[in-house]
A and B are shown apart, each in its own frame.
Chain A
């Protein structure tokens, strides 16, 4: 199975400051159709995961533009330009290129 490795696993951030989460895959996530199926989810406390970013950098409707995704091949990043209180939660990357699809371990973002 493809292993997804996130870092850091814990991310204390001051309100208004930027945050960055790394996600690395054990093999390239480029699919035969030339798409890269790397998705980012946010899970707020007590809620189900919510999709933020898909295909590396496409932001979902309704997701604030302070969230952005980048990367290619095996190396991906989720960035929050200015952290707000509502961003507290756990962030997961997921690969949808190889079955079984797999998730990173999760990064817990908290406010300092």
Chain B
């Protein structure tokens, strides 16, 4: 059974940093692209980042480039998201998402999410 366990969320002041993690199990982690999707309270869904199977290729929307860094450890089956210079508008539940193969064009499984609150 595929499991994605998100962790690392919490409260942080504007300008602060936070590192999220996703522990994956139930599938061959190194064979699937992975990503992060966030959902602001009461709002819709937004892609945050994607990483290739090897970890070499990473993708971010323009609004998050330079502030967020996605990485993966295929030996530990973990996915991370390092976030810097956090803004109030980054407040959201962040979900780890599994791709259907070498990309996440058709994501299939989602983690339960971890809440990030950016507030003074």
Interface residues of A (CB under 8 A from B): 1, 31, 37, 39, 48-51, 54-55, 60, 92, 94, 96-97, 99-106
Contacts and interface: CB of A to CB of B under 8 A. Distances in A.
B107 interface: yes
Nearest to B99: A96
Contacts of A102: 47
B113 A96 contact: no
Contacts of A49: 45, 95, 110
- Identify whether the interface residues of A are mostly helix, strand, loop, or mixed: loop
Interface of B: 44-47, 50, 59-61, 95, 100, 103-113
A55 B112 CA distance: 24
Contacts, number: 51
Contacts of B110: 48-50
Nearest to B111: A48
Contacts of A100: 47, 59-61
A39 B107 contact: yes
8 contacts: A37-B105, A48-B111, A54-B108, A55-B106, A92-B44, A97-B105, A99-B59, A105-B44
A37 B106 contact: yes
Contacts of B107: 39, 51, 94, 96
